[in-house]
Structure 1
Amino acid sequence: MIRRFGEPVRPGQRYRIRPGAYAVLERDGALLVTHQAEPIPEYQLPGGGIDRGESPLAALHREVFEETGWRIDIRRRLGAFRRFTFMPEYDLWAEKLCTIYLARPVRAHGDPHEPGHTALWLPAEEAVHRLDNAGDRHFVARFLGLAR
């Protein structure tokens, strides 16, 4: 069973499964995160949806590059969680299946390519509190040894 975070399932609401891959990117005690300005401003772990026919690792490389401008080296899978949410940018009620990986930022290639995203480095313990998604916070806290 995969742990669920976030809002409760709405009775009668149909959800479409939306798999995604996300990364905890640590360097020198700081985490590389992304701030998405729209549709709702929030701090997130870099990553996103896996396109049809795309592998989770290929999607993670693509999404992190689009949202941060960084190339990464994926180390290992940390775990997975799910959340049920409305995605206004897609007009979609989704059951997001989020797989979290530990990766190393290797090289910056410029600014994010994805509109509305800003990449920033936060002290790791600050990131635990700034990330808007409870699942992201859980995996970062676990990585830092602050949660089980």
Structure 2
Amino acid sequence: MIRRFGESPEPGRRYTRRVGAYALLPRGSDLLLTSQYDPDPDLQLPGGGIDPGESPVAALHREVYEETGWLIAAPRRIGAFRRFAYMPEYNLWAEKICLIYRARPVRRIGPPTEPDHAALWMPAHSAAQLLGNAGDRHFAARHLARITAR
């Protein structure tokens, strides 16, 4: 059973299952995040949907690059969660299955290629409070607890 964060599904509403891969990208005590400005401002772990025939790790590399402009290395899956949400960019009610990885940000190639996205570095303690959904905040807080326990 995958832990659910956020709102419960609305009775009678149809949800389309969307599986995506998302990354915690630490450098020192900071995390590399993406800020999506349209349709509404939202601070997120970089990542997104897995295309048909694409592996989760290939999707992770592609999505992180599109949303941050960074290349990553050594992704390792650390967990998963699900949430029910409306995705205005697709006009879709979705059951999002979020596969969470930890990876190493290697090199910035350029700005994000995804429109209305900006990459930013943020202290992990701030990210654990400010990320736009409870599942992302949970994994940022777990990361923070891991690095402060060292």
TM class, shorter-length: over 0.9
Q: Which residue of 1 aligns with 2:10?
A: 10
Corresponding residue for residue 69 of structure 1:
69
RMSD of aligned residue pairs (Cα, Å): 0.9
Question: For 1:101-142, what per-residue CA distance to the aligned partner results, in whole angstroms no more than 9, with x for missing partners?
Answer: 000000000100000000000011111111011000001111
Deviations 1:64-84 (A, max 9, x none): 000000000133111000001
How far, CA to CA, are the matches of 1:141 and 1:10 in structure 2?
28
**TM-score between both structures, scaled by the size of structure 2:** 0.95
Structure 1 residue 52 and structure 2 residue 42: aligned? no
Following TM superposition, by how much is the alpha carbon of 1:23 offset from its aligned partner in structure 2, in angstroms? 0.1
How far does residue 57 in structure 1 lie from its aligned partner after superposition?
A: 0.2
Preserved contact between residue 21 and residue 99 of structure 1 (Cα < 8 Å): yes
Deviation sequence 1:1-56 (CA, Å, 0-9, x none): 10001111100001010000000000011100000001121100000000011000
The whole-number CA distance in structure 1 between the counterparts of 2:16 and 2:140 is 26
CA distance in 2 between counterparts of 1:106 and 1:99 reads 21
- Amino acid in the other structure paired with 1:37: Y
Can you give the 5+ residue segments of structure 2 that lack an aligned partner in the other structure? none
1:102 corresponds to which residue?
102
> Aligned partners of 1:145 and 1:77: how far apart in 2?
17
TM-score normalised per structure 1? 0.96
Tell me which residue corresponds to 1:136: 136
Structure 1 letter corresponding to 2:61: H
Please state if 1:93 is matched with 2:69. no
Moved runs in structure 1, 4+ residues, more than 6 A?
none
Three-state SS of the structure 2 residue aligned to 1:33 is strand
Identity %: 66
Secondary structure at 1:114 match in 2: coil
- 1:110-129 equivalences under 5 Å are 110-129=110-129
Match of 1:33 in 2: 33
Verify the 8 A CA contact 1:74 1:101 in the aligned structure 2: no
Note if contact 1:21-1:49 (Cα within 8 Å) is conserved in structure 2.
yes
C-alpha distance in 2 between matches for 1:77 and 1:145: 17
Structure 1 counterpart of 2:41, one-letter code = P
